[in-house]
């Protein structure tokens, strides 16, 4: 199980997790590519929770993505934001097929959604399953979700000296956003301290080169820890330059527990860490804000396999469980995680990314059967 993440949600909105409403409205945003195949798996998992846990769900189908942009001219329709804000406690987001070259008027809907909904933390657990041949890994990468280079302020101009094009991007790190992400990372580490008797927070940065932006991130994270020693003093505090962090993460993954990073580094580290546990198809995430939690598998739209019915649904199913943890339904979340772990441990029913021959639905059905 991915360690009672609901504990950390109380730091961003007191009482939301503790209410743990038995009736939830969940937005479903498949997006592009295999998102349309894996989000239904998350819905089936939630529907299966009704009898045992007394949970009931209303589902609202919502639009976003590159295809939505091609169809309507907007990658993130206003109606999607409106419904999420007014009606939903949680949501599941699939994937986005963003073009690699500039398309006039288009920008990533998931980045825009994080800004519009105030989803300031992206929490990505990377955990191996005991009883498999995977190396022992149990880390949570907490990624700041609203700024850094992802504010998408760019410009291209002609250098007056050389007469050639120059492209520039703005990197923004603020004290407010950094304090917020450091706090939720430390709260997650504190919960792991309570569960395991030990916990480590590793702050990742590149302040030896980016002394002002990453320097501020490093300084503020340390201040949040030092200023709250009475609360966080049992947590071991570490720092790691991002390039050496990548090296050590692959060399010694067991050394890392909770890792907090600016937006870009957190994105790269968590995708890379997926290689430690077999596939991006098994790594979940939760976008966390004051009013809503959106589960999101870490994989992309995978256009090479879209429509073939062989996409791995586990990242989405684990993201569904993670969403429930942040909403305070830890028992339901635990049942999902245990069923997924059993499926992976046995290894008989798995999709091609894990070396198997099963379909998306066959894996989903196996996990549903284990939950029952």
- Mean residue pLDDT across the chain: 92
Say if residues 97 and 68 touch (Cβ distance below 8 Å): no
Residue 133: count of CB within 10 angstroms of its CB: 7
Is the confidence at residue 89, as pLDDT, over 90? yes
Residue 369, pLDDT > 90, answer yes
Would the pLDDT of 8 be above 60?
Answer: no
Give tens-digit pLDDT for 163-208.
Answer: 999 999 999 999 999 999 999 999 999 999 998 899 999 999 999 9
The answer to pTM > 0.85 is yes
How far apart CA 329 and CA 9 sit, in angstroms, is: 12
CA dist 206 and 26 (Å) reads 38
Four-residue CA torsion sign, 59, 17, 283, 31: positive
Give residue 161's pLDDT. Answer: 96
Can you tell me the distance from the alpha carbon of 245 to that of 250, in angstroms, rounded to the nearest whole number?
Answer: 9
Pairing relationship of beta strands 154-158 and 165-169 according to DSSP bridges: antiparallel
Indicate the pLDDT class of residue 297, thresholds 50, 70 and 90: very high
From CA 30, how far away is CA 107, in angstroms rounded? 17
Alpha-carbon gap, residue 352 to 280, rounded angstroms: 12
Tokens of 339: 């069923």
Give the model confidence (pLDDT) of 235-267 as tens digits.
999 999 999 999 999 999 999 999 999 999 999
For the stretch 216-225, what's the b/e string if a residue is b when 16 or more beta carbons lie within 10 angstroms of its beta carbon? bbbebbeebb
End-to-end CA separation in angstroms for the chain:
18
Please give the pLDDT value at position 120: 96
Alpha-carbon gap, residue 175 to 180, rounded angstroms: 9
pLDDT over 60 at 36, yes or no = yes
Please determine, for residue 82, whether its predicted confidence score (pLDDT) is greater than 60: yes
Per-residue model confidence (pLDDT) at position 313: 97
Q: How far is CA 32 from CA 64, 79, 127, 264, in A?
A: 8, 18, 26, 22
pLDDT at 19: 52
pLDDT tens sequence across 107-152:
889 989 999 999 999 999 999 998 777 788 999 999 999 999 999 8
Cα-Cα-Cα-Cα torsion 350, 302, 127, 269, nearest 10 degrees, comes to 160
Contact 34, 305 (CB under 8 A): yes
pLDDT band at 279 (very low <50, low <70, confident <90, very high): confident
pLDDT at position 9 is 43
Q: What pLDDT, on a 0 to 100 scale, did the predictor assign at position 101?
A: 81
Whether residue 222 is predicted with pLDDT greater than 90 in this model: the reply is yes
């Amino acid at each position: 199980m991915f360690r009672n993440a609901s504990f950390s949600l109380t730091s961003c909105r007191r009482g939301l997790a503790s209410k743990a409403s038995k009736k939830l409205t969940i937005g479903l945003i498949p997006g592009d590519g295999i998102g349309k195949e894996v989000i239904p798996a998350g819905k089936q998992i939630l529907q299966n929770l009704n009898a045992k846990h007394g949970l009931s769900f209303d589902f609202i189908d919502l639009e976003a993505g590159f295809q939505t942009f091609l169809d309507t001219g907007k990658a993130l329709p206003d109606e999607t934001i409106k419904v999420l804000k007014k009606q939903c406690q949680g949501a599941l987001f699939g994937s986005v097929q963003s073009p690699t070259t500039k398309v006039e008027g288009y920008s990533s809907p998931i980045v825009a959604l994080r800004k519009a909904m105030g989803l300031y933390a992206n929490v990505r657990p990377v955990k191996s399953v005991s009883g498999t041949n995977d190396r022992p890994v149990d880390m949570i990468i907490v990624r700041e979700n609203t700024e850094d280079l992802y504010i998408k302020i760019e410009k291209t101009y002609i250098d007056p000296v050389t007469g050639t094009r120059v492209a520039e991007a703005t990197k923004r790190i603020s004290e407010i956003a950094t304090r917020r992400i450091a706090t939720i990372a430390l709260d997650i580490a504190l919960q792991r301290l309570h569960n395991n008797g030990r916990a480590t927070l590793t702050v990742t940065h590149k302040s030896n080169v980016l002394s002002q932006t990453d320097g501020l991130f490093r300084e503020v994270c340390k201040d949040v820890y030092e200023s709250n020693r009475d609360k966080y003093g049992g947590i071991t505090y570490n720092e790691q330059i991002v390039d050496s962090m990548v090296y050590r993460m692959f060399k010694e993954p067991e050394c890392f527990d909770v890792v907090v990073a600016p937006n870009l580094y957190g994105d790269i580290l968590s995708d890379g860490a997926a290689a430690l546990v077999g596939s991006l198809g098994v790594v979940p995430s939760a976008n966390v804000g004051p009013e809503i939690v959106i589960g999101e598998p870490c994989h992309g739209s995978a256009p090479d396999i879209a429509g073939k019915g062989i996409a791995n649904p586990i990242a989405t199913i684990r993201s569904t469980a993670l969403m429930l943890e942040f909403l305070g339904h830890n028992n339901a979340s635990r049942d999902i995680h245990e069923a997924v772990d059993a499926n992976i441990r046995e290894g008989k029913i798995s999709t091609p990314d894990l070396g198997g021959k099963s379909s998306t639905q066959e894996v989903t059905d196996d996990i549903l059967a284990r939950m029952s």
